[in-house]
Structure 1
């Protein structure tokens, strides 16, 4: 046997040829860069706030430096509040995502069923009744979509109502719809209905009421809190001065 054949490895040890599925001349797709987490560390922000406050407690700090550091402190406190609000919002979205999904399916089903019945309606009385129900069903659907993401989601449908609607048909199903419409709606339902009229549903979902954003509300609360602390500190100081007189 020739030496070159004798030295060849067994067939099962030979490496198989690589078959590239891409067409000739087709470039290898670039790997998508992973998105970096640009969120700020809450602990880091708290540390910065402590450092600035420690610096402001120095009596020998120049006046111009004090003004600068007070601005820096306000910026850090605002950034901390915004970051905590952002994380709370993300947690609310994650927590209630599945509930909102199920209720959105239910609301869509109810609306589509009413729209089909509206096409089949003959009498004016029935058309008026269905028009009222369709409006309510549209608000229900928008409620599940545009309920403020940063707030705790309040369920629109009572427990087990979806199963009952699926099982009952005809007159029984109509009675269930009547009962559902007579039930007390969550407080946010009326807010969603008003937002539909004003065309501000997305602002409602994102936490913007009119022209006032979450950041502005947070800043207002922060100022009120700081003012209250200053008043308490001033009152305590006056009480202490009166004690030593």
Structure 2
């Protein structure tokens, strides 16, 4: 068997979780600062500010470096604008989804009823057919309005002023039949201005309708916002504001504790005790003597 080691060779055991008493505290290493992932909107905005500061501060950059930075800056601004537009577009779609859905179903149902009514109407009744075709055109534009209204703009409802009327007894016949008097309030009400734009876009085909639906409002773009900040005049102080400002109070200067003596300028005392003594002496009444009677007057010089 081997020999056991002595106590001096092993040393005194210490508990594992025992804190150190050397006067210093051990802090956990703080996590590194969060950095946005490349390609995100936050990263693009941060990189844009960095390049703008670099271009403004360093006016003596080489031409090739400046051109590369300006090219990157333009691409980053386009990325930020696209991200902002997509975020706004998604929010507006989810906000007005239900309104657009119900109005689209209503417009498509009206168009379907009008087509069936035109097919059933005799060809001799030209006036009625023309009225039905005009209503059919309005219903088709209404349906396109609900589908191709610009997604990034607040949706304007078409049938807000429509008054609900009593349902007929036979609902199945009402779905298949069209009564102009009942639906006149839906098809002959005033339409918003963009309704005519959609009507014109329908003549241009699906491509024109898609461009109208995906158009971006100029007042919400990043460039327009930056231009408004630059053109905003700085606040200037008007005459009324100047009058309203409190005037600084003028401090009264204390008279010198000494007076001017005939022929000589009195020297100011060096400390407070001498100054008080001189004030007390000046306050005491002066007793005239025979020697003081002269043409020059008393102690003080008269003007």
TM-score range, shorter chain: 0.5 to 0.7
1:187 aligns with 2:193: yes
Greater displacement, 138-147 / 38-47: 38-47
1:57 aligns with 2:56: yes
Partner of 1:240: none
The structure 1 residue matched to 2:130, chosen from 128, 131, 134, is 128
Unaligned ranges ≥5, structure 2: 1-36, 234-303
1:152 to 146, 151, 154: 154
C-alpha distance in 2, partners of 1:146/1:93?
Answer: 12
Unaligned runs of 5+ in 1: 1-37, 208-213, 233-245
RMSD after superposition: 3.6
Separation in 1, partners of 2:93, 2:48: 29
Q: TM-score, normalised by structure 2?
A: 0.52
Report deviation, 1:227: 11
Secondary structure of 2:198's counterpart equals helix
- C-alpha offsets along residues 29-62 of structure 1, whole Å, 9 cap, x if unaligned? xxxxxxxxx9953222221112212322333752
Deviations along 1:112-166, whole A, 9 cap, x unmatched?
Answer: 11111111212111111111111111111111111112221111112564x4385
Alignment of 1:1-245 (within 5 A): 40-59=39-58, 61-64=60-63, 65-122=65-122, 123-158=125-160, 161=163, 163-164=164-165, 173-199=179-205, 200-207=208-215, 214=216, 222=223, 229=230
What TM-score, normalized by structure 1, do the two folds share?
Answer: 0.64
Residue 160 of structure 2: SS of its match in structure 1? coil
**CA 148–224 in structure 1, closer or farther in 2 if over 3 Å, else same:** closer
Larger Rg: 2
